[in-house]
A and B are shown apart, each in its own frame.
Chain A
Amino acid sequence: QVQLVESGGGVVQPGRSLRLSCAASGFTFSSYGMHWVRQAPGKGLEWVAVIWYDGSYKYYADSVKGRFTISRDNSKDTLNLQMDSLRAEDTAVYYCARGGMVIAAIPDFWGQGTLVTVSS
């Protein structure tokens, strides 16, 4: 069955960096676009970034552009999110999600998330 398992979350000071990873299994990872979506505590969903199935295109939310970098390793079925210059407002649960096969822009399957807390 499809599984997405995020890791790398934790407590980090403002201005520092953190790298999240998402291990995928149960589907042909290299055929799907992948997303990161976050949710601040008690708040709604905020889309963060997407990467095309082959890594050829990447898009970011304005709030993270220039600070976050999405990447993937199709040989290891892994999605990454490098987060630099972290701010308190980046505190959230970060979900890795698979884009649909037909509609890649809809995250059709989500991991359980990893919590990132930015605090001094």
Chain B
Amino acid sequence: DIQMTQSPSSLSASVGDRVTITCRASQDISNYLAWFQQKPGKAPKYLIYAASSLQSGVPSKFRGSGSGTDFNLTISSLQSEDFATYYCQQYKSYPLTFGGGTRVEIK
């Protein structure tokens, strides 16, 4: 199975900051990577596919990058609605696997 490791597990940032979250795969997954956002008590929301392509309706402040084993999610100009937990997910092969999540908190 492919293991996905996210870092950091949590971070504190201020409104207006830019933050970067890292996701590492245990083997080459090419660009078969998605990103999700989850707010407390809510279902996850799909943000990015193919490592860097925005899902319809997702603002361009979210930017995904990377390929192979190392990936990043960068969020520009943080707003209050962006404070949430973010997960990466590989879909190179079954079983699908998620990273452990990165909680973005208000400083």
How many residues of B are in contact with the other chain, CB < 8 A?
24
Please determine whether B49 and A106 come into contact, CB atoms closer than 8 angstroms. Answer: yes
In the complex formed, the residue of A with least CB distance to B34 is A106
Knowing A59-B94, A106-B49, A106-B89, the reply to whether A44 touches B99 (Cβ < 8 A) is yes
Please determine whether A61 and B43 come into contact, CB atoms closer than 8 angstroms. Answer: no
B-contacting 9-mer, from A12-20, A45-53, A69-77, A78-86: A45-53
Query: B18-33, CB under 8 A of A: which get 1 and which 0?
Result: 0000000000000010
- Among A95, A107, A111, A113, the most chain B Cβ lie within 10 Å of the Cβ of A107
Cα A49 to Cα B35 in complex, Å, equals 19
Which secondary structure dominates where chain B touches chain A?
A: loop
* Chain B residues within 8 Å of A50, by CB: 94, 96
Q: How far is the CB of A113 from chain B (nearest CB, A)?
A: 6
- Among B50, B91, B96, B101, the most chain A Cβ lie within 10 Å of the Cβ of B96
How many residues of A are in contact with the other chain, CB < 8 A?
23
Please determine whether A113 and B43 come into contact, CB atoms closer than 8 angstroms. Answer: yes
Q: How far is the CB of A60 from chain B (nearest CB, A)?
A: 7
Please determine whether B98 and A107 come into contact, CB atoms closer than 8 angstroms. Answer: no
Cα A29 to Cα B21 in complex, Å, equals 34
Please determine whether B43 and A95 come into contact, CB atoms closer than 8 angstroms. Answer: yes
Partner of A59, one of B89, B95, B101: B95
Is the C-beta of A112 less than 8 angstroms from some C-beta in chain B?
yes
Cα A108 to Cα B54 in complex, Å, equals 12
Partner of A47, one of B46, B49, B98: B98
Selected A-B contacts with CB under 8 Å, 15 pairs: A45-B36, A45-B98, A50-B94, A50-B96, A62-B95, A95-B43, A100-B46, A100-B49, A105-B96, A106-B34, A108-B46, A109-B46, A110-B43, A110-B44, A112-B43
Interface residues of A (CB under 8 A from B): 35, 37, 44-47, 50, 59-62, 95, 100, 103, 105-113
Interface residues of B (CB under 8 A from A): 1, 32, 34, 36, 38, 42-46, 49-50, 55, 87, 89, 91, 94-101
